[in-house]
Structure 1
């Protein structure tokens, strides 16, 4: 999904087994403020969970990397943002693209994998096809995330490898960073956000605790705060860079 707006672009990355639906209200908010917004569908997502079984982190990352390059061609300043695994993808983009990216926003970023499940996964994924889903961890009544009801284990194994890779690359993240995480999250522990905060090299860092939301905070009670805070973050940095370039 593209919205052509200003010369400031934002790439939004959705989470594992989810879809752009979890990010669409955020994308619409930013587009309504006049920003250029990209919200790609990751390979293997948005169809059947069996399709995800045949993809891996390299496919997901290649998609957001390609979308980032399109935004960099169209915009003067580009930011990246992501939810859950999308946060991990955004952080890897930041680590690898450096100053080409003006800032990073992550919401409940995933950077670790449960130790017990992770230990067994290399073997179990060959014996068991899938396990119960993780979608729709939302506190707000009546709100549902569009996501798979099963997690394919081959894809989960690849996600685990992505998180390991991203943790190693966090010191290469130097851009201004906004981390928003829920106090209660039944999918990704809040300590994953602390891993990010403890290991990035960014000096302009803001942490916000979301008190009224679970994992899919972009659809939960704190959604409007995420939208407004991220827009404020983008405009603050865009204004600073414009002033610097004009000096």
Structure 2
């Protein structure tokens, strides 16, 4: 949707492996950079991994302002279609809004997604500041960004320094729809939530657990990371937990 160049480090990635596919999805205003280390861990276990770049992300805030939640979903759908060509089982892992999308896809594709792993996923924004931006008029085109909420010193997320105000409306729609779809999700779920998160209210983790329709729900608190946990102190733990979860279902 844009002819602007992709930021270095924000490119989509694909690692060929066996017939078990794992779709890893970055979050709102972020890029594939936040998911590449986890994707590499999963790929080293022998699985096929794809990390799509969501439409409007990894380019510029102006490009993002021209996209909608439907465009972000379409980016994931395209990656899913690609995985289905070679994989007999597919799992989805996502950070933040990527976690929201992992839940959305599990609800909308119950015959395809075998397991979902939302990491600091959001199904309720619970933010008066964000709500005040969603529908108001006369606001600036952008507001300060929300990236790099990372506890580990010296680590920076590749994310927009500014957030298009128009995009907040799209987030609210996606989050609300996904929240109401949670009871439809029947596949196993591993819900991972940081206890201290300055972007997404940590109550989202338990809320997801309560509303899921799955018969198997594993829940894991993170004690040493903030919001961008896939670049933080708990990366190895997230990788181990995710791999154990997938292996327990896939059988390999």
Return the offset for 1:146. 0.3
User: Any stretches of 5+ residues in structure 1 without a counterpart?
Assistant: 243-247
Q: Give 3-state SS (helix, strand or coil) of 2:158's partner.
A: coil
Output one character per residue of 1:71-130: Cα deviation in whole Å (capped at 9) or x when no partner: 122101100110000001110100010031110111000112244235433443553211
Tell me how many residue pairs correspond in the alignment: 240
Correspondence for 2:23 among 11, 15, 24: 11
User: Any stretches of 5+ residues in structure 2 without a counterpart?
Assistant: 1-12
Residue 140 of structure 2 is aligned to residue 128 of structure 1: yes
What TM-score does the superposition give when structure 1 sets the normalisation length?
A: 0.94
Q: Give 3-state SS (helix, strand or coil) of 1:43's partner.
A: coil
Output one character per residue of 1:9-59: Cα deviation in whole Å (capped at 9) or x when no partner: 000110000000000000111111111000000111111111111111100
Residue 94 of structure 2 is aligned to residue 75 of structure 1: no
Superposition pairs of residues 127-146 of structure 1, within 5 angstroms: 127-146=139-158
The answer (yes or no) to whether the contact 2:135–2:169 under 8 Å persists in 1 is: no
The answer (yes or no) to whether the contact 2:134–2:168 under 8 Å persists in 1 is: no
CA gap of 1:211–1:125, structure 2 versus 1, over 3 A, is farther
Correspondence for 2:196 among 175, 184, 189: 184
What TM-score does the superposition give when structure 2 sets the normalisation length?
A: 0.92
Residue 236 of structure 2 is aligned to residue 234 of structure 1: no
The answer (yes or no) to whether the contact 2:130–2:168 under 8 Å persists in 1 is: no
RMSD: 1.3
Distance in 1 of aligned mates of 2:120 and 2:34 = 13
Residue 81 of structure 2 is aligned to residue 57 of structure 1: no
Distance in 2 of aligned mates of 1:186 and 1:46 = 22
The answer (yes or no) to whether the contact 1:125–1:154 under 8 Å persists in 2 is: no
Residue 52 of structure 2 is aligned to residue 40 of structure 1: yes
Q: Give 3-state SS (helix, strand or coil) of 2:109's partner.
A: helix
